[in-house]
Amino acid sequence: MAATGPTSPGEAVALFTARLVPVGTERVPLEVASGRVLAEPLVADRPSPAIGVSAMDGYAVDSASFRPGVVRVAGEARIGREPVRLEPGSAVKVSTGAPVPLGADAVIKREDVAERGGTIEVAASVRVPAGVNVRRRGENLDAGARVLGAGEVIGPSRASALACFGAARPLVHRRVRVALLVTGDEVRDAADPVADWELRDSNGPALRALLGGVPWIELLPPRRCPDDPDVIRSTAEAALSAADLLLCTGGVSMGDRDFIPEVLRSLGAQVAFHRIPQRPGKPVLGALTPRNQGVLGLPGNPLSVMVTARRMAVPVAMHLAGIAREPSPPLVAIDADARGLDLWWHRLVRLSGPGRGELAESRGSGDVPSAARADGFVEVPRGRSGAGPWPFYPWGL
């Protein structure tokens, strides 16, 4: 398969996601919706606040008829109770969030009065304009207004909004089913004895650590197979029977035993891109199956896998999950100039402070120890150099 298409990792992701459709939807109880992706807008079922309420602990009065001095306290307004009625010439004790009494339009703060049994004394210097310390009905938004759009990840503030507006079973996208396939004759399990010419599988654990704890992802059982096209084909076919996104490692370059492109072609997949001018991870491949499933073939070297998974697989998975917008990466200036290359260069970085980092020495795509000591990487655009600041991608989500 010849080099094709995009000339940057961002362009490759945009091209790929434009051809992928987000996964389907389901309703779930709000109590288990944390971290899921909202699949429909949240619309206010009533105004916010639904009734005028006090913004302070204090005493509700009618601003037009109120006069400083000694004022009789005639009742109390409590949270969660119907509004009481204000008697002329009196005040009603209120707590924060309690409905403003009928006939009242202002609240005097408790600290601005002297409480004397059934009365309060208000100094002449206290000003009580209409609306003071009152939250008006609908001042946040009106009934029928949009609170949240589809595509938002449900976190604490959004869960609070869902509850406030009665979305007890929000419609969310189902979890994206991600399958992992590690290829290579030389790859062994981390627990197995290994000869010097064999490698322990670090790619599978790296991908599981990146994706396994994400609430909107369902990580399918990982698979591993040798560099045999028939075995790769049957293993990939089995993985794709359940997956929305298949991540393969190894076998995507130009070697005689790089079988992934051939296998994908035999499965009817169409290549969206293959080979991006970037370091590490140049051989990365993206393909779509006839069932509109995404396949990303990541290079086999560990650092290439980690970089391409974080930089490219993560935004693809976000798109499939229905997430409306990928968060912009923070910018980090590095303490040494980055040399410019005629490709996009991902440089390992250790953070040294807010918005600052230092380059971590690396000896290439197989240098796992250097990657382990780094916090992530910066992306230096093709032909650019200097200290930045550059977009920073932490290893974790």
What are 1-43's pLDDT values in tens digits?
Answer: 344 578 899 999 999 999 999 999 999 999 999 999 999 999 9
CATH code for the domain in which residue 360 is found: 2.40.340.10
Specify if 102 maps to a domain: yes
Bridging pattern class, strands 199-200 and 187-188: parallel
**pLDDT score at 3:** 43
Total domain count, the chain: 4
Specify if 106 maps to a domain: yes
Q: Are residues 286 and 233 in the same domain?
A: yes
Q: Are residues 131 and 147 in the same domain?
A: no
> 321, 347, 373 — which closes off a domain?
321
Is residue 159 a contact partner of residue 30, using CB atoms and an 8 Å limit?
Answer: yes
Bridging pattern class, strands 223-225 and 285-288: unpaired
For residue 133, pLDDT beyond 50: yes
**pLDDT score at 338:** 66
What tokens were used for 352?
């040294």
Predicted confidence band of residue 186 (pLDDT cuts 50, 70, 90): confident
Query: Percent of the chain scored above 70 by pLDDT?
Result: 97
Q: Are residues 230 and 282 in the same domain?
A: yes
Alpha-carbon span 323 to 158, nearest angstrom: 14
CA quadruple 118, 97, 46, 163: dihedral positive or negative? negative
Closest among 174, 201, 204, 202 to 185, alpha carbons compared? 201
Closest among 184, 211, 205, 203 to 313, alpha carbons compared? 211
Query: Percent of the chain scored above 90 by pLDDT?
Result: 79
Q: Are residues 238 and 120 in the same domain?
A: no
What tokens were used for 91?
């005040």
CATH code for the domain in which residue 230 is found: 3.40.980.10
Contacts of 26 (CB under 8 A, 6+ apart): 171, 172, 173, 174
**pLDDT score at 170:** 98
- 112: DSSP letter: G
289-300 average pLDDT score: 94
**pLDDT score at 321:** 98
Predicted confidence band of residue 190 (pLDDT cuts 50, 70, 90): confident
Q: Are residues 197 and 264 in the same domain?
A: yes
How many C-beta neighbours within 10 Å does residue 369 have?
10
Specify if 42 maps to a domain: yes
Ramachandran area for residue 268 (φ above 0: left; ψ -120 to 50: alpha; else beta): left
Examine residue 280 and say whether the peptide bond preceding it is cis (omega within 30 degrees of 0).
yes
Highest-pLDDT range among 197-201, 328-332, 360-364: 328-332
Predicted confidence band of residue 351 (pLDDT cuts 50, 70, 90): very high
**pLDDT score at 229:** 92
Q: Considering the entire predicted model, what is its pTM?
A: 0.88
Mean predicted lDDT score pLDDT of the chain? 92
For residue 253, pLDDT beyond 60: yes
User: Which residues constitute the domain of residue 310?
Assistant: 9-23+175-321
Specify if 126 maps to a domain: yes
CA quadruple 26, 29, 30, 34: dihedral positive or negative? negative
CATH code for the domain in which residue 157 is found: 3.90.105.10
What are 47-75's pLDDT values in tens digits?
Answer: 999 999 999 999 999 999 999 999 999 99
CATH code for the domain in which residue 73 is found: 2.170.190.11
Q: Are residues 217 and 249 in the same domain?
A: yes
- 110: DSSP letter: G
